[in-house]
Structures are given as structure tokens and as C-alpha cells.
Structure 1
């Protein structure tokens, strides 16, 4: 991974200010994989993108992540640390499966591929379509239809569009288990035990949202540094950004003591 410099990070932040969450996630992914084009980034399995973003977070802000959640039972505010390296995997990690996965269960044979970023975007558009407002399909149904390569029951082909109403629950569970095994970072759910009441609260961690929040705070701090040092020394933004964080902090301390 190419470590993005402060000027490039500020440009990513600025470009994301007027984007929605998927647009910001794409910008962050591009920062993690600058050599990849947009089409390639959108075709990446969801968990691989998450792993890329965890690796970017690790490179930019370190291993330790602070996560805050509210207890679902007593509303106690909880805070805990998470290791970004736990989910940051290189793209050649053997935990990532390639190609088509197969589930054989109860007379069913289902070949499917892992959901990609583009699949999630298509599902979101379909769910927002006014034409489906009266009888909206579930996101899992839409993903099943999009990601099924081929399906057969007792040797007879079954169209992908019929699977949501035809697949037994046991086969659905197998599909979910195989997808999770092949792309473990696609959906990260943490069960947090409350120190007050002892109840466990499930919390989904969206690394794109988490990383954007951190980038936004970092960018605003850096711009404040630029403003203060430009005012004190007459330096340009590129000159301030060229300073290491340690030297920048030292100059800021000198300004405060003056």
C-alpha cells in the first residue's frame, strides 16, 4: 500500500465533503488503492474493501481504534479499544477466496459469487426505487438474485429470480456461512458486554464511516495548523504540510509561547 501524504489526504477529504456515504467510501478506497480504477474498486468484494480500509486506517492513524457504543439495555455509554490490524489483510491473503463458491445441501446445488461494492450500490438503488415501495424486496433477497451464478434442485435448473421464495432456510444459512468464511470482513459485528448491567449489545462496525470521521477531524486540525503557522511565519500551505507532525507541533508551541 502506498502511504498517502497530507496534501493528498486533504484533497480526498475536500472531495468527500459533498459526497454521500458510498461516495466517501469510494474515495477512501481509492486512497488505499491508488493504482486501481473506479471499475476495479467497485468490483471488489465487500470484505476486501473493508480490509483495505482497515489497512489504510492502520497506516494513517495507527493500530488502536476507540469504539463507542450505547448499551441497548440500560443506555450506558461504553468505550473499548479495537486493533485495526485484526481486520487489515493484504489482498493476497489465502483467507480470501477466488472465483465461484458452491453450496450443496438437501438436493440443492447453488453456485454464487461474493457480493461486491457495486452489488451493494445496486441493491440500495433498488430499495429506493418508488416502483418497489408497495412491495419492497429485502436486501438479502436482492443480493441472492444478483450474486447467484447458477442454481439447481434435484438436477433441474432454477432461475436466480425464483430463489428468494424457493430456497429452504437451511440452504440460506449455508450460503451465509460460506460467504462469511470466504470474505470474513464483509460484515463486522461486535458483541459488547455492558460493565453496568452485564447485557451484551451487538454493534456493527462500518470502517468506511469510522475512517471518514477520523479523516474529517484530522483535516480540520491540519487546516487550523496551516492557518496558525501561515499567520505567524507567512508560510504557504504546501510549506506547512511539508513539515513533519513533530516539527509542526514544535513551531505551534513556539507560537503559543510568544
Structure 2
């Protein structure tokens, strides 16, 4: 497949993702990492997101910048996050995860992109049940097999907590004190949202460059995209748009 740094491949992914939701966009972005079509939906979310962090480093660099709002005083502040914080640690991907809540014991597997797509298709009312059903291997109440439909809210919360602990790359968070009131605020580093926003900004800038150079020189889009970014900037300066 083309290199993920090739403009044509990136633009095709951007175009396909414009009308897609977050889960489908994650799948499209994951394809840029070289993940095989057949197995892409079966990859655990944490592994997928690690690969997206690596893709982000390749495309846009090590440092990721974001903003977070304090829940107390509503002060907004910026934060910086190094992609290496996720990629540097060992990947722990257990085949099964155990969750306990009161008299309940549940065996789980890590959720995948396919699970998230199915949950999204189930709609707001059915998403949680779909995800619980798909990821539960066995649920027991007081040692006896039980239906996932009987799982109480506390058990489902315990399941979510156990999965997050077992697959930390699927839920990357950082905490920081508010510069105004000092309250500790948590920020989620959602690599799919950040990477898509950066790809969207890049694609719109490249499309503008194509428009300007095609208008000035009569070149077709493939001819403009075949130029390196440095040469495109040089031509843009020559036509007064640099």
C-alpha cells in the first residue's frame, strides 16, 4: 500500500472520513498504519490506539498540544503531551480480563474496533448492552452462570474499570493542577479526535495549495501533489500566496 505520508492516501482517508462518525474514522485512520483489512476490526482498541499514536508521530511529530477546562472555575489552559509517553511502555494485552463486583464474577475480553462499530450501530439506547454482550465471555452470580442481561449497574462499572486497567492505551489520561484555583483536572488524550483534527487541518491547507497552483499554472491535482512541500511553498511564493 502507499506510504501513509503520501498526500494522495491521506487525502483519500480524509475524504472518506468527512461524513463518518468517530469509530469509523478510527478504522479509516488505522488503515494508514498498514493494518490488514481482514483483521483490522479484530484489533483491541488499546493496540489500535498505540498504532495511531505512532502514526501521529510520523505525520505530525512527537508533541501533541491540547486544551482542558477546569470543572470548578472554568479556566481554560493548554497542555502538552509527548507521544512517547504511550509508545515507551510495554504493551500489556491479556487474553482475558477478570472483573468482580459483590457476588458477581465476570470473564471478559478486550473490546475491538468491530465491537465499537456494532455498539455505535445499536444506537444510544442499545450501545452499552451491545458492548457488554460482545465482550463478556462468562458471567457468574454466586458461582452460577448468569445472563449478561442480569448484570447490575455496579457490576458493569466494575467491568469497565477492569478493562481500562488492563488496556491503559485505550484510555489515555493526564492530570494537572488548574493555574487559577489549583483543582486537579483530568484531560483525556483521545488520539482519534486529535489525529483527525490535525489531518482535517492539513487536508484543507493542501487543497487550498492545489487550488492556487492549479489556477496559476494549469496543473492537475496529481501534478501539484507530486511536488514536495518545499517546492509547493516555493511556487506559492512565486505567485504571491506564500
TM-score, normalised to structure 2's length?
A: 0.84
CA deviation map 1:133-160 (0-9, x unaligned): xxx5783x65333312123345432333
Match runs of 1:158-237 below 5 Å: 158-164=146-152, 167=155, 173=158, 175-176=159-160, 178-237=162-221
Gapped regions of structure 2 (runs ≥ 5): none
> What is the CA–CA distance in structure 2 between the aligned matches of 1:257 and 1:226, rounded to whole Å?
12
Q: What SS does structure 2 have at the residue aligned with 1:146?
A: helix
Is 1:151 equivalent to 2:135 in the alignment? no
Distance apart, 1:42 and its partner CA: 1.9
> What is the CA–CA distance in structure 2 between the aligned matches of 1:24 and 1:50, rounded to whole Å?
12
Q: What SS does structure 2 have at the residue aligned with 1:49?
A: helix
> Are the aligned partners of 1:53 and 1:88 in contact in 2 as well (CA < 8 Å)?
no
> Are the aligned partners of 2:41 and 2:113 in contact in 1 as well (CA < 8 Å)?
yes
> Are the aligned partners of 1:42 and 1:117 in contact in 2 as well (CA < 8 Å)?
yes
Match runs of 1:50-65 below 5 Å: 50-65=49-64
Which deviates the most, 206-215 or 80-89? 80-89
Which deviates the most, 147-156 or 235-244? 147-156
Distance apart, 1:98 and its partner CA: 4.3
Q: What SS does structure 2 have at the residue aligned with 1:120?
A: helix
> What is the CA–CA distance in structure 1 between the aligned matches of 2:87 and 2:163, rounded to whole Å?
18
TM-score, normalised to structure 1's length?
A: 0.79
Gapped regions of structure 1 (runs ≥ 5): 129-135
Distance apart, 1:62 and its partner CA: 0.6
- The alignment covers a number of residue pairs equal to 241
2:84 is aligned to 85
Distance apart, 1:214 and its partner CA: 0.9
Distance apart, 1:103 and its partner CA: 4.9
